[in-house]
A and B are shown apart, each in its own frame.
Chain A
């Protein structure tokens, strides 16, 4: 029995505090995934709270034979993110602290502009492509897990990721060409 399976079994037996260990293990990836899908740094933690609370309530229905705990949890996170997106359509991406290269400020400014361009392009991607890209590139999930979370075939996931990457790549090239 894996450590995770043991934890789940303890929680189901009534040891609520064991859930904190799962929570601490997954809080960062879940919050990050929600932030990247919803583009909302303000309420991503609130949505993540709902995800973990729902996971706790539904824990008895988790079947390790059907999927891994990560896949199961990320599926809940995906659904909650989509609901949050439906509720609030217009988001503004909160800016992360900008790293300024004091040795070469002009390089740093160009880099931040490029990052902003990529952010814009990510936001503009079709929702399915965006989710697949986020799960693959930021969460480093294998294609099989992404396919399970999205409820599609692996081939579909691959093509969505490729298309998303292609769009980002072309946006990046055209931005560079326009700024030369």
Chain B
């Protein structure tokens, strides 16, 4: 076999390639995943509500936080009213 012929046959063999049928699907799925993550808003309110509703402890904590805030507000109001009474008196 002549060397030029061998070289060309070798080149032909090296140029053969089989790409798996799922290759493009794998890449596209990675791209879609990336886009979903990129387009997700910084704060997803619906997801927040879903997460809270799914956990009993989180629900309790949210109610407790609401009650604490209400209490703080009530105390603050009372203090404001009392301080006005002092000024007027």
Interface residues of A (CB under 8 A from B): 16-17, 19-20, 23-24, 27-28, 31-32, 35-36, 45, 48-49, 52-53, 56-57, 96, 99, 107, 110-111, 114-115, 118, 137-138, 168-169, 172-173, 176
Contact = CB atoms under 8 A, between A and B. Distances in A.
Contact of A19 (B3, B14, B28): B28
A16 B14 contact: no
Given A23-B27, A49-B26, A53-B34, A111 B20 contact: no
B34 to A, nearest CB: 7
Contacts of B11: 137-138
A28 B3 contact: no
Which 5 residue pairs across A and B have the least CB separation, nearest first? A32-B17, A52-B27, A23-B24, A118-B10, A172-B3
A49 B31 contact: no
Interface in B15-40: 15-17, 19-20, 23-24, 26-28, 30-32, 34-35
B6 A111 contact: yes
A113 to B, nearest CB: 10
A27 B35 contact: no
B24 A118 contact: no
Secondary structure type dominating chain B contacts: helix
A176 B2 CA distance: 9
Interface string B31-64: 1101100000000000000000000000000000
Contacts of B7: 118, 168-169, 172
B68 interface: no
A56 B31 contact: yes
16 contacts: A16-B28, A20-B24, A24-B24, A31-B17, A31-B19, A49-B27, A53-B31, A53-B34, A56-B31, A96-B13, A99-B13, A111-B9, A115-B10, A138-B15, A172-B3, A176-B3
